[in-house]
Structure 1
Amino acid sequence: MIELDETDRRILRALVEDATQSASALGRKLGLSQPAVWRRIKRLHETGVIKGQRLDLDREKLGFGVSVFLGVKLATKGRVSLDDFERAVSAIPEVQSVEHILGVYDYRLRVVARDISDFERVLRRRIMTLPGVGDVEANVLLSEERRPGPI
């Protein structure tokens, strides 16, 4: 674990809110020079604290009005079935995330679809036919509020 001072934390909180801010804008906001902010951000990247930057797309505006979390329990366990399942599920474009979890289910998937009938098609034709799939539980997302974790 890397040691972060309060300035590093303030920079990270500001970047979590808006990662497109320039070093000079952040410097003005935090009372630091542009080079000082740039050096700190560079160090946070180099040490792996900042892993990358992503776009946060509005799925509904792109035509994907339904998000579903699927709990997937594999029918067979073993290294081969895990690898086969992960490889196959990662190739499905509607599957936005694949998480290997501990609990009742082996995996949690986030699946997007245009509507419920489109989701049913993805579930029946793509997900249920994957290697090793046993039990599946679907939870339709009603609303979402993103809250960044503590820094």
Structure 2
Amino acid sequence: MADIDDTDRTILRLLVEDGRRPYSDIAEEVGLSPPAVSDRIQRLRDFGIIRRITADLDRSRLRDGVAVLVELDVTQNAVEATRASLTGAEPVEHVFTTAEGRLVFTVRAPDGDVRGFLEDTVPFDAVGDIDVRLLTSQSWSPGVGAAEFAPSCAECDNTVTSEGVTETLGGETYHFCCSSCADRFESRYESLEQGA
């Protein structure tokens, strides 16, 4: 299975700094041609490392509510549904799930009405405890560092290492921890495709 190297990490760092940076500038920085940079970026997209390139808004320059950090203690069976509700809500910027199953997120509460926002967005019968803190500032500085490519196996959810297998089925790229998982997945995929 392919892995990412230092050139990929540099490309990722440059894109994080400026997602609109021309491929020619990136190519000059990493010592490749612009088409080679384009191919690498496409490969990183195929791997799922680059999901999209978006605008990094400075919300402090927009008047759109009060910035707060909210922590919710949610019943175990409602964590994913609550997380999905929060992720789809316009004023929510970041959503994190802790190892304990708590949800932590930042939100710009419209008109400062945190309770109203939560009542409209979160199923309160699933919430055990709420902690809301006013934010005075926030910054986001993602980095790649020495990260390695570590997708989850599409079949068993184990971490895929360099011994893993990558397959493309129906135009989608899937990663597997071993050839057995790839074979099982491909067999099920073909059965489903024939039944469709």
The TM-score range, normalised by the shorter chain, is 0.7 to 0.9
The alignment's TM-score, normalised by the length of structure 2, stands at: 0.61
Secondary structure at the counterpart of residue 36 of structure 1: helix
Map of 1:148 onto structure 2: 142
Give the structure, 1 or 2, with the largest relative contact order (CA under 8 Å, sep 6 or more). 1
Q: Is the 8 A contact 1:16 1:148 kept in 2?
A: yes
1:78 offset after TM fit, Å? Answer: 4.6
- CA RMSD in angstroms comes to 2.6
1:27 offset after TM fit, Å? Answer: 1.2
Query: Cα–Cα, structure 1 residues 25 and 91, in superposed 2: closer, same or farther, change >3 Å?
Result: closer
Q: Is the 8 A contact 1:92 1:126 kept in 2?
A: no
Map of 2:51 onto structure 1: 51
Q: Percent identity?
A: 33
Q: Distance in 2 between matches of 1:10 and 1:92?
A: 33
Map of 2:70 onto structure 1: 70
Q: Which deviates further from its counterpart, 65-74 or 83-92?
A: 83-92
1:17 offset after TM fit, Å? Answer: 0.9
The alignment's TM-score, normalised by the length of structure 1, stands at: 0.76
Map of 1:61 onto structure 2: 61
Q: Is the 8 A contact 2:71 2:130 kept in 1?
A: yes
Q: Is the 8 A contact 1:59 1:65 kept in 2?
A: no
Query: Cα–Cα, structure 1 residues 66 and 49, in superposed 2: closer, same or farther, change >3 Å?
Result: same
Mapping of residues 1-150 of structure 1, within 5 Å: 2-64=2-64, 66-74=66-74, 77-79=75-77, 81-82=78-79, 85-86=82-83, 88-90=85-87, 92-103=89-100, 106-113=102-109, 118-119=111-112, 121=113, 123-128=114-119, 130-131=122-123, 132-149=126-143, 150=145
Q: Distance in 1 between matches of 2:29 and 2:134?
A: 40
Query: Cα–Cα, structure 1 residues 48 and 68, in superposed 2: closer, same or farther, change >3 Å?
Result: same
The alignment covers a number of residue pairs equal to 142
